[in-house]
Amino acid sequence: MTPGSVLAEFVAAFGHEPAGVWAAPGRVNLIGEHTDYNDGFVLPLALPLRTLVAARVSGGPSTVASVQEDGETVRFDAATVVPADVPGWAGYVAGVVWAFREAGLPVVDLELLVDGNVPVGAGLSSSAALECAVAVALAELAALTPDRTELARLARRAENDFVGAPTGGMDQMVSLYGEAGGLVFLDTRTEEIEHIPFDLAAQGLELLVIDTRAPHALVDGQYGARRADCARAAELLGVPALRDATLDGVDSLADERLRRRARHVVTENARVLDVVGMLKAGEDPREIGPLLTASHASLRDDFEVTVPHLDVAADVAAAAGAHGARMTGGGFGGCVIALCDADRSGAVAEAVTEAYAARGWDSPAAFPAVPSAGAHRLA
């Protein structure tokens, strides 16, 4: 998939050239999991895996097609489309158009073709990549100049209120603010961004992404349930969000489950700040490994969003020499990241593959996470 191939696909689908080609990346989160909807801190990076859209303004209705969906074509009217009109993958496209309109921005109908290599359902934010690619394309084609934070809010609105997934704002922010060579340190309360250099290759390191290919089960319901637990815990503690809770406060919660949920959020926020402090102080990135592993334990024991595929991958990676390993993303399947010496990463991936085979599980996929640029125009 290249800008040229997407352009050619557009011509094949619509019979003329697009006005441009835009791209937006998927992500992994280094640390700061299930903190974004608690007004907390996250530290993701944008991946080289990305979604491309070729588009131009049309006379309407909007017509969208996707290479991944065998060229399936979906139509809707930008001026009138509402949630439930457009199910499935095209809802992420229509949802962005709808979010612009809901925000009072003038919208235009589009011809739009989607292509991408962010695996769907792997927890690498293929949905945010699609939303953000559409958002930057639509803004430019409608001659609008919202800043990146505003674009991220619009993309998230599409996900939350059109598609109906109650996610936080991390994925859209990193898809828009990603930078080659760096992490995106985001304070989700203030929406302040700081780029933290993360040149692992220079240190002989690699951040290995292990896609467990575990089937996602009950993700939506479980994610919503965790959000509700966090909101309830904050309410009982009398704080605006768990970002404001202390460990002493958390210990005072009578409900054992809520206590564990809140403890994860409070300790996870502290781990993000520790990692940021260490990286900014120029410490050897190997030193953050134990914090990654501690994050996994907290997500497993306190937040309860791991599954055996994630636990086995994280444990086996650490035993095979990774400096630290943890699940990344929402959980219940998806990916594990392992911080490895570059010359050990092949052995780490191999060890996880063997452990899966011994359990009769499908082989995982593994690739290095290289911090990459956020959404932008390609052609």
Positions in the binding site for ligand GLA (CB under 6 A)? 33-34, 36-37, 167-168, 170-171, 329-330
d(CA 171, CA 150): 14
Q: Which is nearer to ligand GLA, 13 or 99 (CB)?
A: 99
> Cβ closer to ligand GLA: 113 or 122?
122
- The full 3-state SS of 239-299, as one line of letters, equals CCCHHHCCHHHHHCCCCHHHHHHHHHHHHHHHHHHHHHHHHHCCCCHHHHHHHHHHHHHHH
Which C-beta is closer to ligand GLA: that of 5 or that of 222? Answer: 222
To the query of whether residue 161 is one of the catalytic residues in this protein, the response is no
Q: At closest approach, how far in Å is the CB of 262 from ligand GLA?
A: 15
Q: Is 218 left (phi over 0), alpha (psi -120 to 50) or beta?
A: left
Q: For residues 124 and 250, what is the distance between their CA atoms, to the nearest angstrom?
A: 31
Distance of closest approach, residue 165 Cβ to ligand GLA, in angstroms: 7
* CB closer to ligand GLA out of 182 and 330: 330
CB of 268 to ligand GLA, least distance (A): 9
In terms of CB distance, is 332 or 356 closer to ligand GLA? Answer: 332
Which candidate in 115, 171, 211, 302 is catalytic?
171
Least separation in angstroms between CB 31 and ligand GLA: 10
149 in Cβ contact with 105 (< 8 Å): no
CA distance 76 to 150: 24
Angle at 259 between CA 255 and CA 264, to 5 degrees: 155
Assigned token pair, 282: 């120029």
CB-neighbour burial class of residue 218 (10 A; exposed 0-12, middle 13-18, buried 19+): exposed
Residue type, 289: G
HSE-CB at 127 with a 13 A cutoff on CA atoms is 28
User: For residues 242 and 228, is the Cβ–Cβ distance under 8 A?
Assistant: no
Q: Are 366 and 322 in contact (CB under 8 A)?
A: no
Q: Which is nearer to ligand GLA, 116 or 329 (CB)?
A: 329
- To ligand GLA, the closest distance from the beta carbon of 296 in angstroms equals 13
How many Cα atoms are found within 13 Å in the side-chain-facing hemisphere of 348? 30
Distance CA 10, CA 154 (A): 25
Give the shortest CB-224-to-ligand GLA separation in angstroms.
11
- As annotated, the active-site residues are 171
